[in-house]
Amino acid sequence: ALQAMRLSLITSTTATALAVLLGLSAAWLLSRRRFRGRTVVETLIDLPMVLPPAVAGLALLMAFGRRGLLGQPLSLLGIEVVFTPVAVVMAQLFIASPFFVKAAIAGFGAVSHDLEEAARLDGAGALEVFRYVTLPLARNILYSGAAMTWARALGEFGATIIFAGNFPGRTQTMPLAIYLGIELDISLALTLSVMLLGVAFLVLLVVKRVLHRQIAAVQA
């Protein structure tokens, strides 16, 4: 149980960090630019949110498996992805990242263009405008999106069990341990469920309190 909890916390946090790093630029582009194919890009981002997790796991397996489109070249280089902790992170990232991207698009879209333009007139560059104007004004929504992304990654099951497997101490996350516990010992499954619920509740509670304090400070 402790191994599964530790792996879940590490992989879900890593997946969330990657979602933030990769999603910020995509969200800013979609909130600020109109280009041909924009609807297709938005649909691709939304797709993992409505796609059955088992289908997502199978797609990742076909892409990164030993005989997959990208798996074969990686195998020749001695890189194995399937049934490793990396596969756990990839499955969580694929399923959970749209939650952050959608929140970030809404957050950036809510920032006044007049404030950004005023900063540019004062001599700020594009990166400075983003860092000192856009990002601070949208940070509350970004925090909320990151929290939801983390919670979704923590609870990911379907894609993970297909793409990463269920190997204790290696790829077995808390949801997978609960699934195994149901078959072996229902009391163990209940204990693991309570642990997972408690951790998720505490983290989300802390995030919400931080957000409320920031909003109160801004209003003051």
State how far the Cα of 105 lies from the Cα of 209, in Å rounded to an integer: 23
Tens of pLDDT, residue by residue over 25-54, are 999 888 888 888 888 888 888 888 888 889
Would you give the end-to-end CA distance of the chain in angstroms? 45
* Helix axes of 186-219 and 2-32: crossing angle, nearest 10 degrees: 40
Tens of pLDDT, residue by residue over 141-194, are 898 899 889 989 999 999 999 999 999 889 999 999 898 888 888 888 888 888
**pTM for the whole structure:** 0.87
Burial class (CB in 10 A: 0-12, 13-18, 19+), 201: exposed
State how far the Cα of 176 lies from the Cα of 187, in Å rounded to an integer: 15
For residue 116, give the nearest of 125, 107, 106 by alpha carbon.
125
Tens of pLDDT, residue by residue over 64-105, are 988 888 888 888 888 889 999 999 999 999 999 999 999 999
